[in-house]
Structure 1
C-alpha cells in the first residue's frame, strides 16, 4: 500500500486480506475473523463487533476498487453487498475472489474515474473542479503545465505534489501521458536553465529570441537567416520605450523566425504563398509537442512559443506584426524580392484597419450590455474598477497604456462632473476630457472602495485606478508600500479580460477574441472602405 495519504496506487490485497474477505463472504462471524486474521497474537486488544465489521468493509472497498481498476464491474458489483444470501451466491463470490487474486496490480486507463485511484476526499475535490477521469487530469496538466492544480479549487501544493508524482510514475501505463514540462512543485527550483542553441532546422526545442545563436556556418541558409536574426533583434530593441509593443513584436517575430528556420527558409525571402501557409500554421501549430506548452519562464528549459492554436483575432494581430516587419525589412534594403506580399488593390495599412474594425468588432449593443452588467451584476470592488476602466476606454477613448500614469491630481472638478487632464505640460485647467456623468460616478464608486472621498480632499499623487486590496505576496506588499501605487497596464488588461470572460459565459456571443481595445473601437465610427 502506498504511503502517500491521498493516493491508492497499490490497492491489491495481501493473501491474508483476501482470506478475511473470503471468510466474511462465507458467513464467518466478524469478531472471529478479526481475532484470527487482523489482530497481532501478542496484542491484548479485543475488537468489538462494530470495529471488526468496519475493518472488513474497508478491505471490501479496496477489493471493489481493485476489480474496477481491472475493468471487472461484474466482480465489483458482486462484492458491494458482500454477505451472501444463498449457497450459490457464496460460491460465485469465492470463485470470483480466486480469479481476481491471480491478477496483478491494476493499470490506470484514461477513462477511469479519479475515484478509482485517489482517496475519496481528494477525488471529490478533483471532481468538483471538473476533473472526473484520468484523461481529464492529464489533459489539464498538459494544458497548464506544473501549475495545473491552481485551476482546481481546494487542491493545495501538497496534494499537487502527490498527484503529479503519481502521474509521472504512470508514464508508461497511461495512454495520455503527461508532457515532460509537468513536474511536481518541489522540483520547480531545480528546473534546468535553457541552453542557447543555433537557429536552424536541427533545433531540438524552440528557443526564445534572446537565446538564439546564429546558424551554423555549414547550414546552406546560414547567411540570410543570420541577417534575419540580427535585423529582428534590432527592430524589437527600437521599441524598448514601449514594453507592451516590444513584447508583442518580440513574440510574433520569434515565432516567425522559428517557423522559417524549420521550413529551411528565411524571413527576407517570404512570398505570399509562404505567408498563407504561416497563417494556417498559427491556427494549428504542429507538431504540438515542439511548439505548444503552458506559459513559463523564458530562461528555463521546455519553454514554448505557443500555449495552443491561435484564435481568429490573434492570428490577425500576429499577421499585422509580420507585415510591419516585412515593410521595415523592405525599407532597410534587406528585403529585395517578394513585394507582392505587400502589394494589392488595398494598401496594407488600410486593409488592416478594415479587418480590425469590421471583422473584430463586438456586435451592436453588446458593449452597452457589458457596461450595464458591470454596474448591476454582483458588484464588487474589482467589478467597479473594471467598470470605471471600461467607461474611460469606451466613452472617452483613453488608451489603456496611458491610464497607469494618471493621478488624482489630474482630475479637476467641474459642476456635477469633472475634467481629466492628460498630464501634458502647459495644459490649461479648462482643457482635457470632460467626463460623462456616469463615468464620473463610476470613478467615485471606485475611489470609495479605496477609502477616497472627493469632498474630503485627496492625495494628488494617488493613482487614478488602483486595487482596493493588494495580494498578500512579497511583490504585492512591496507595491502597496509605494506612494501612488496603482494598476499597471497589464493589470488593467487582465482585469477587463477576466471580467469580460465572466460576462460572456452562458451568452451566445460570436467567437471574437476580446481585447480592451475593442471597447474603444466600439465607441468610434467605422472608416469607409477604400474605393
Structure 2
C-alpha cells in the first residue's frame, strides 16, 4: 500500500492563568516553592500547591511548556538561546529577562477569563476568600455584584477597599470581550475616592458629581439624587422672579431663602442636634421634592391640595424608577423608596411630617398657606403594640451568643493573616452588643455613649463601696481595672430626656479590651472619648471630613454601628461548631437579629428575673409604663406556651 500523508492531531496546549505566570516569575527569581504556594495559591482549590514538591513540579512543567511554545513561535535568536541552555543544563535556565521574552512568545499558553471561572483562578487567595465570603464565587457573579451596586460595590465586601476595587474593575473591563459581559459604566475605575472635578465641583465616591441635576424626560436616563446632593432646574426651583412658586407669601419672610431648597434647608437646620429626627425628616422631604419636580413637574412652593392628595396616592405604589435596593447616598444607584414600598403606618407618618414642615414654612412667612392641612392621613390599624418584642433572644440563645463572642474575641493570638484586625472588630462588636443587651440602650444611645459619663456604681454590700464616710475605692474616678463590678452611666436618650442606666461588669471588661485595641487606657483618670469607636477610617469624603472635624477618636455613626453588630451576629450563626446546641429555629432567629433586638432582650430578661416594672421603665427610658408592660405580657405568654408544651408532652 502506498504511503499516504497522515495528519498528526496534537492536544491543545495547557493553559495558565495570570497567577501562574506571577508564580513562575517568582520561581525563576529563586523564591522557595513553599512561599510561592502560600502567597499565590489556595491549597483547597489548587492541589498542585498542597506541598513544596508538588508546587515545584507544577512550575517546572509550566516552564517547559512555555519553552516549547517559545521554540515554535519565538524569534530565531530566542530559540537558539533556549536550545543552547537545554544542551548545557538539560533544561532551559531562565532569567527574569528571558522569562519575559518567553512569556511574550508563548501567548498561546495564556488562559482567557470566562464568566464561569472561579475567582480564585484569577485573584490572590486573600482577595478570593473575601469575595467568596460574600457569595461571589465566579467572575460572572462578581460582574453581577458590581453592576447591582454601582461604584460603591466594594463597601459591602470586608477589607477590599477603594484601590483594590479599582484594580479589579479595570481588569474586568480589559477582559470583557472574552467574558462576554461588561461592567456598567457607573462602576467607576478612575477614582473611587472623592476628589475635586475639573470645574471645581465635588465628586462623589462613585465618580458622580455631588450636585446632581434631576433629568426630566426618559426614566431610563433618570438620575435621582438625595437631598444633600440635589439641584433642580431653575424653572422648578420656586425661586424669585419668573420661577416664583404660586404659594409663595408676598409679605416679609422671616428666613432668607431665595428658593424652595433653601427654605427646606432652613427647616431641617432646626434639627441639627437631633440626628435621628433630622434623618427621618430629610427622607420625607426629599421624596416629596423629587416627586414634585420629576412626576408633577411643579415647584414645591406651587403644590396645591390636589397635588398633595396625588402624592398621598403615590406613596401607596411608587413608580418603579423611584424604587430600588438600599444603596449608599453617594451612589448613582440610590433610590428614595425601597422595592416593597411603604407600609400604611409609614404613609401616615410621611403625611404628618410634611404637614408639620409646611406649617413651619407658613409660620415663617415663606409660604402663604399649608395645602397639607386639608389632607387626611391614610387609614391605619391601631395596634396593641408596635414593639417587636418577639425578636428578643431567649435566655439560652443569649448566653450562648455571649460565649461565642468571647471565643471569637480571643482569636488575636492566631498567626493567620488579618487575625488581629478581625479580633479587634469582634471586640468592638462585643462591646456594642453588651451595651444594648445588658443595659437596654438604643442603637443611637450606644453610638453617642462617652467614657466621661461612666462612673462606678455604689452597690449596697459591695466591698468596694465606701462606708462610714471613709475615702475608699468608691472615690475612684474610673472602675477598678481588677474587678468587674457594675457601673452606671448618664445618657441623653429619646425625646432629649436624661436617664441613668446600669452597665454590667462584663460590659466593663469588654470596653476595656476595646479601648486597649484603640491604644487608650480605659481606667486612666479623667480620660474622655466615645465608648465605642472604629479601628480605621474609610477613604470616603464624608468619613475623612468627619474625622478631621472631630479628631482622632471618632465614634461610629448609627448605621455603621448597626452594620457592625448585624455582621457579627450573622457571622456567629455561620459557625455551627460554636452554636451546635441550637435548634434550627434559634439559628434562623439569630440570622435575622438586628441591633435593636438586644434592647428587647434586656427588657424580657429583666422582667423574667422579677425586676420591678417601674425600674425597667426607667432604665429603658419609656415615656409610659404601659409600654414597658408589653414585656410583662410577652414573658407571661412565653411562660404559658412553655407550660402548654410541657403538659402536652406529659399527656403523651
TM-score of Structure 1 vs Structure 2, range by shorter chain: 0.5 to 0.7
In the aligned structure 2, how far is the partner of 1:242 from the partner of 1:398?
A: 17
Distance change in 2, residues 1:393/1:114 (3 Å): closer
Match of 2:170 among 165, 173, 181: 165
Q: Distance in 2 between matches of 1:420 and 1:508?
A: 33
Other structure's SS at 1:411 match: strand
Contact 2:486 2:508 in 1 (8 A): yes
User: Which segment drifts farther, 240-249 or 156-165?
Assistant: 156-165
Tell me which of 372, 377, 383 is aligned to 1:335: 372
Equivalent position SS for 2:438: helix
Q: How does 1:23-34 map to 2 (within 5 A)?
A: none
* 1:339, distance to aligned residue in structure 2 (A): 0.4
SS in 2 for 1:420: strand
Quote the residue 2:270 is aligned against.
Answer: 238
- Name 1:519's counterpart in structure 2: 598
- Pairing 1:216–2:216 present: no
Which secondary structure does the structure 1 equivalent of 2:456 belong to? strand
Q: 2:143 aligns with which of 138, 142, 154?
A: 138
Encode CA deviations 1:52-110: one digit per residue, 9 max, x unaligned.
999999988936947xx8xxxxxxxxxxxxxxxxxxxxxxxxxxxxxxxxxxxxxx6xx
Deviation by residue 1:295-332 (Cα, 9 ceiling, x = unmatched): 263xxxx63434995679x9799657524414525756
Residue of structure 1 equivalent to 2:285? 253
CA distance in 1, matches of 2:285, 2:78: 74
For residues 439-478 of structure 1, what are the structure 2 equivalents within 5 Å? Answer: 439-444=507-512, 446=514, 458-463=524-529, 465-467=531-533
Q: Is the 8 A contact 1:407 1:462 kept in 2?
A: yes
Q: Which of 397, 405, 425 is 2:440 aligned to?
A: 397
* Structure 1 position 469, deviation (Å): 5.2
Give the whole-Å Cα distance in 1 for the aligned partners of 2:509 and 2:532: 16
User: Conserved in 2, the CA contact under 8 Å of 1:394 and 1:519?
Assistant: yes
Question: Which structure 2 residue ranges, 5 or more long, are not aligned?
Answer: 1-16, 22-64, 198-206, 249-258, 298-302, 361-369, 411-422, 465-484, 493-498, 576-585, 604-627, 634-652
- 1:125–1:154 CA contact under 8 A, matched in 2: no
1:422 aligns with 2:490: yes
CA distance in 1, matches of 2:352, 2:570: 30
Does 2:325 correspond to 1:325?
A: no
2:345 and 2:380 in contact (8 A); partners too: no
- Partner Cα separation in structure 2 for residue 422 and residue 31 of structure 1: 74
Matches within 5 A, 1:126-525: 128=129, 129-130=131-132, 131-148=136-153, 160-168=165-173, 176-186=181-191, 189=195, 191=207, 193-197=209-213, 204-210=222-228, 211-213=230-232, 216=235, 223=245, 232-259=264-291, 261-264=293-296, 278=315, 281=318, 286-287=320-321, 294-295=327-328, 297=330, 303-306=332-335, 309=338, 319=347, 322-328=350-356, 333-341=370-378, 343-344=379-380, 346=382, 351=383, 354-355=385-386, 357-358=387-388, 361-362=391-392, 364-365=394-395, 366-367=397-398, 369-379=400-410, 380-403=423-446, 404-408=448-452, 410-414=454-458, 415=462, 417-422=485-490, 432-444=500-512, 446=514, 458-463=524-529, 465-467=531-533, 485=553, 487-490=555-558, 492-505=561-574, 508-510=587-589, 515-524=594-603, 525=628
TM-score, normalising length: structure 2: 0.51
Could you say if the C-alpha distance between residues 440 and 339 of structure 1 is closer, same or farther in structure 2, counting changes exceeding 3 Å?
A: same
- Displacement of 1:448 in angstroms is 6.0
TM-aligned CA deviation for residue 280 of structure 1: 5.1
Quick one: distance in 2 between partners of 1:178 and 1:147?
13
Q: For residues 338 and 386 of structure 1, do their structure 2 counterparts lie closer, same or farther at Cα, with a shift above 3 Å needed? A: same
User: Once the two structures are superposed, what CA deviation does each residue of 1:115-139 show, in whole Å capped at 9, x if it has no partner?
Assistant: 7xxx955376665433443421211
| Residues 437 and 173 of structure 1: CA distance in aligned 2, closer, same or farther (over 3 Å) | closer
Q: Is residue 422–residue 432 contact of structure 1 (8 Å, CA) maintained in 2?
A: yes
| RMSD between aligned residues | 5.6
Matched with 1:97 is: none
Give the 3 Å change call, closer, same or farther, for CA 488–39 of structure 1 in structure 2. closer
Q: Distance in 2 between matches of 1:315 and 1:496?
A: 26
TM-score by length of 1: 0.60
- The answer to whether the 8 Å contact 1:295/1:307 transfers is no
Q: Are residues 447 and 160 of structure 1, via their aligned partners in 2, closer, same or farther at CA, if it must alter by over 3 Å?
A: closer
Post-superposition offset of 1:206: 1.0
What is the alpha-carbon distance in structure 2 between the residues aligned to residue 477 and residue 262 of structure 1? 32
Distance of 1:7 and 1:462 partners within structure 2:
52
Contact 1:31 1:52 in 2 (8 A): no
Query: How far did residue 166 of structure 1 move?
Result: 4.5
